[in-house]
Amino acid sequence: MGFKRTIQAIDTHSGIPMRVITGGVGHIPGASVLEKMRWLEANDDQLRKLVLREPRGYPAHCCNLLVPPSHPEADAGYIIMEQVEYPVMSGGNTISVVTVLLEMGILPMKEPVTELVLEAPAGLIRVRADCQNGKVKAVTFRNVPAFAAHLDAEIDVPHLGKVRVDVGWGGMFYVIADVRQFKGLELIPEHGREIARVSAMIRQAAIEQLPVAHPDYPGVGITISQLSGPTDDPRADWKNAVTMATGPLSWDDPNTWTGAIDRCPCGTGTCAKMAVLNAKGELPLGQDFRHQGILGTVFTGRLVDEARIGDRPAVVPTISGTSWIFGINTLVLDHDDPLPNGYTMGDIWA
């Protein structure tokens, strides 16, 4: 039986499902993984839509494509795909990629510790994987430098009023708001619909009112939002719910005031939060920061060094977390399928 596309993938989760494509995609040109990502976006964006939209995906779904690295130090490269963008970095996806590379035997596993270097679109990511009995028990990686772009900025959010926010870069630009500004709203799964609504509106208002820039990624702006607050769980220091966009937001259409909540504690979101706390003098270098996601799972971050991004002071974070394989998949596209890009529906998508 012949198909128009046949894609091999390993499905993982750290709360949120993160697919890793291991085969079925041809040569992607580019002198770096960043260039490969840009080529893919311009020339084969159908791949992202195919694997992330229905019927093969759903709103809270990410995907990674393994590619040959260009840097001589790197053991593997990967391109990150999400519902509306190609992020240059993602923490949870990095943890999942490492898990797949080692547990599926794509790269050799050494117990009790495997060290490797990955090439993300953002650059080289140095990784330590704690391994036991053929399993990856924990992944720790050194992320790209993070920084605070705005601190305690007041934005005017239609239908919500004045909201105080921070904006931090941790591999993506996050607008971060303390959830205690919204009466009755808690960072629990039962409040997921309202978390997504409020977060999407804050994101759009921040895009319109708070300019940001990264010297290495011209044109990349605020694309994601985080509600943040204290936790009474002794396993964690802080709690968050990150909401990813699943489509454009129009202030004239309340049906678009939504998104998909990241079910994991969010690696780059943790890095952005740590950069903001450090800029406020609330998180020093060398101190563990245990960040809890909406399902109660925890990523542990630490600021290990100072850096600069352009003329801005920055910090270098590490993130530790775990991902689990839950499926081995062959995704196909029938020649006669009338919906080759997948589809979205207004009941669960923006």
Q: Which residue has the tokens 């530790």?
A: 320
pLDDT per position as a tens digit, 161-189? 999 999 999 999 999 999 999 999 999 99
- Say what the pLDDT of residue 135 is: 98
Taking residues 325-342, what's their average pLDDT? 97
Rounded to whole angstroms, the Cα distance separating 343 from 9 reads 20
94 pLDDT higher than 90? yes
User: CA 206 to CA 156: how far, in whole Å?
Assistant: 9
pLDDT of the residue at 23: 97
Total count of residues recorded for the chain = 350
Find the mean pLDDT for residues 253-265. Answer: 96
Phi-psi region of 108 (alpha: psi -120 to 50; beta: other; left: phi over 0): beta
What value does the mean pLDDT of the chain take? 97
pLDDT recorded at residue 117: 98
Give catalytic residue positions.
90, 266
Cβ distance 247 to 349 under 8 Å? yes
What's the whole-number mean pLDDT along residues 88-104?
A: 98
Average pLDDT over every residue of 260-277: 97
For residues 43-62, give the mean pLDDT.
97
Among 207, 194, 177, 164, smallest CA distance to 254 is for 194
Contact 217, 243 (CB under 8 A): no
Tell me the pLDDT band of 350, cut-offs 50, 70 and 90.
Answer: confident
Domains in the chain: ranges and CATH = 5-144+324-333 (3.10.310.10), 147-300 (3.10.310.10)
Whether residue 212 is predicted with pLDDT greater than 90 in this model: the reply is yes
- State the residue for tokens 């999400």: 82
Q: Which residue has the higher pLDDT, 1 or 346?
A: 346
pLDDT tens digits, one per residue of 221-237: 999 999 999 999 999 99
Burial tier of 227 (Cβ tally within 10 Å: 0-12, 13-18, 19+): buried
Share of the chain above pLDDT 90, in %: 98
Strand boundaries in 146-293, DSSP class E: 147-157, 161-169, 173-178, 222-229, 238-244, 260-261, 288-292
Q: Cβ contacts of residue 328 below 8 Å, gap of 6+? A: 10, 11
pLDDT of residue 295: 96
**pLDDT tens string 150-162:** 999 999 999 999 9
pLDDT higher than threshold 80 for residue 26: yes
Region 290-310 average pLDDT: 97
